[in-house]
Structure 1
Amino acid sequence: MNGNSNMKFLYAGIAIALLLSILAPFLASPDPDGLESAAGGLIEGSKLSHLEETQPAVNAPMPDYSIGGMGKSGEVLAIAVGTLAVLAISFGFGKVFNKKA
């Protein structure tokens, strides 16, 4: 592959990632995920509810993949921002570790 087709591949990947981040809140299941349902089957209800009410050591910047008070648009924005942050971090690591000696 030459540099031009690599860039097209990169842009297509970014577009697909952003499309998925926009569609994810509308396609996600409202049922508990595998971890929550497994914990529900292993831990009795009172202990599980106590664990859910425990305050975290560090608060998430966008808890539950959403921005409070914005509804579905807050979920879309939070996931899109997270996706772009991961892409930017990955790009940065690629630049740092791809230095030619």
Structure 2
Amino acid sequence: MKFLYVGIAIAILLAVLAPFLASSDPDGLESAAGGVVEESKMSKIEKTEPVVGSPMPDYSIEGLGKGGEVAAIAVGTLAVLAISLGLGKVFSKKN
């Protein structure tokens, strides 16, 4: 159980530090897609609106600056942990 608490503490610490450590000019997924997908198709994809809007777009809560980024990442981290623990309990029950 101690291992679980240490893991949760590390996850929350990373969530708090991530907005301050992350690059302000990331190059990941969009750059990789640009190398694989034709430019004409890429512009169509970028103009397409999502079917369901994100509750916290761009890992942030509007109007809160870095604090909104920290909150959004922390909430997302806790949600994933809660869902994982819940599913673990459901599937670990013996029939």
Query: Where on the TM-score scale, by shorter chain, does this alignment land: which range?
Result: 0.7 to 0.9
TM-align CA RMSD = 1.6
> 1:88, 1:9 → 2: CA distance?
16
Q: CA deviation at 1:56?
A: 0.7
Deviation of 1:49 (Å): 4.5
Q: What is the match of residue 89 of structure 2? A: 95
Query: 1:33 maps to what in 2?
Result: 27
Distance in 1 separating the partners of 2:67 and 2:55:
16
Unaligned regions of 5+ residues in structure 1, if any?
1-6
CA deviation profile, 1:12-69 (whole Å, cap 9, x unmatched): 000000000000011111223321112234443x654553232111101111100011
Q: Matches of 1:17 and 1:69 in 2, distance apart?
A: 24
Aligned to 1:4: none
State the distance in 2 between where 1:90 and 1:36 align: 29
Q: Give 2:56's match in structure 1, choosing from 47, 55, 62.
A: 62
The residue aligned with 1:3 is none
Rg (Cα) greater in structure: 1
Q: Aligned residues: percent identity?
A: 76
Give yes or no for the alignment of 1:81 onto 2:75: yes
User: 2:5 maps to what in 1?
Assistant: 11
Amino acid at match of 1:29: S
Cα distance in 2 for partners of 1:56, 1:15 equals 33
- Structure 2: runs of 5+ lacking an equivalent: none
Q: Quote the Cα distance in structure 2 between the aligned partners of 1:49 and 1:32.
A: 19
Provide closer, same or farther for how the CA distance between residues 100 and 47 of structure 1 changes in structure 2, counting only shifts above 3 A. Answer: closer
